[in-house]
């Protein structure tokens, strides 16, 4: 099945279900996905093993392209609600990520002071103090937690190298509630394995993790575009997502659903 890649460093603006008018930044190559997760549902496709010839945009190039884009938007009379780091994989893998964040905040303050700086991340790099501190400087850090069960993370997200869900939850708590947890619910089959993070056991573990992390917001969603292996994975119906959202809301956490 077709997959979706961003072909520019600065893209949009687009109207986001979650962020309003969003100007996107892709810190990864335009021709491939670069990620330390290999999520079975990823709209960018499965993660390749070959990084030969991979080229990442330089910090200076990102800064200049963002400046030009913000100045154009200002001239057009429509400034963004958000400047969002997303793109073709995990943005915090860029070697100059903390510096890029500093540049972005400076440009935002000068050219679009009402815009938030947002990052969509899988939270795998928050064990690094420099990455964690850079994320804390952002207005909105939207960090993934698809499951609080180790085996499910391994089958759904397929992390590269060592990964501990207990350690991830411990590190997420360091944000002291100033974060958004993003969870994609999906069910079906992937290469002969059952995929379902909506079971009673899954939801109990997820809610227990939310109690510990105490985020200011939870974003719940399901697959939206084609997945790497076609129709074997299914959307979770909107009424089920709303039911799951009500469980998070019962913990006193603001919850947003994108069916």
Specify the CATH number for the domain of residue 19.
3.20.20.70
Q: Is residue 5 part of a domain?
A: no
Global pTM value: 0.92
> Which of 48-62, 87-101, 172-186, 237-251 is least confident?
48-62
Asked if the structure places residue 2 within a domain, the reply is no
The answer to whether 131 and 85 are in contact (CB under 8 A) is no
Kindly state the helix (H) or strand (E) to which residue 104 belongs, with its residue range. helix 97-111
Q: Which of 216, 151, 152 is nearest to 186 (CA)?
A: 152
Residue among 123, 83, 94 at smallest CA distance from 28 = 94
Give the residue among 233, 127, 245 at the shortest CA–CA distance from 183: 245
**Regarding beta strands 116-121 and 217-221, do their DSSP bridges make them parallel or antiparallel, or are they unpaired?**
unpaired
Model pLDDT for residues 132-157, shown as the tens digit of each residue: 999 999 999 999 999 999 999 999 99
pLDDT tens for 159-196 read 998 999 999 999 999 999 999 999 999 999 988 889 99
In a domain, 4, yes or no: no
Give the range of the structural domain holding residue 222, as residue numbers without chain letter: 10-258
């Amino acid at each position: 099945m077709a997959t979706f890649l961003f072909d520019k460093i600065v893209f949009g603006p687009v109207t986001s279900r979650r962020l309003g008018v969003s100007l996107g930044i892709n810190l990864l190559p335009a021709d491939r996905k670069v990620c330390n997760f290999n999520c079975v549902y990823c709209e960018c496709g499965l993660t390749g093993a070959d990084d030969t010839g991979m080229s990442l945009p330089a910090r200076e190039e990102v800064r200049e392209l963002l400046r030009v884009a913000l100045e154009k938007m200002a001239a057009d009379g429509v400034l963004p609600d958000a400047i969002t780091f997303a793109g073709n994989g995990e943005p915090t893998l860029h070697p100059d990520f903390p510096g890029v964040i500093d540049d972005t905040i400076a440009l935002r303050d000068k050219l679009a002071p009402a815009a938030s700086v947002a990052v969509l991340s899988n939270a795998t790099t928050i064990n690094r103090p420099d990455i964690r501190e850079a994320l804390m400087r952002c207005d909105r850090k939207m960090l993934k937690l698809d499951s609080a069960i180790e085996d499910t993370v391994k089958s759904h997200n397929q992390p590269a190298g060592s990964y501990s869900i207990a350690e991830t939850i411990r590190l997420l708590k360091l944000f002291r509630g100033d974060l958004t947890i993003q969870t994609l619910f999906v069910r079906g089959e992937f290469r002969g394995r059952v995929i379902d993070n909506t079971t009673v056991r899954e939801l109990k573990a997820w809610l227990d993790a939310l109690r510990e992390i105490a985020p200011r917001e939870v974003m719940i969603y399901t697959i939206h575009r084609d997945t790497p292996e076609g129709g074997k994975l299914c959307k979770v119906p909107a009424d089920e997502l709303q039911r799951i959202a009500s469980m998070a809301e019962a913990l006193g956490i603001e919850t947003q659903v994108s069916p």
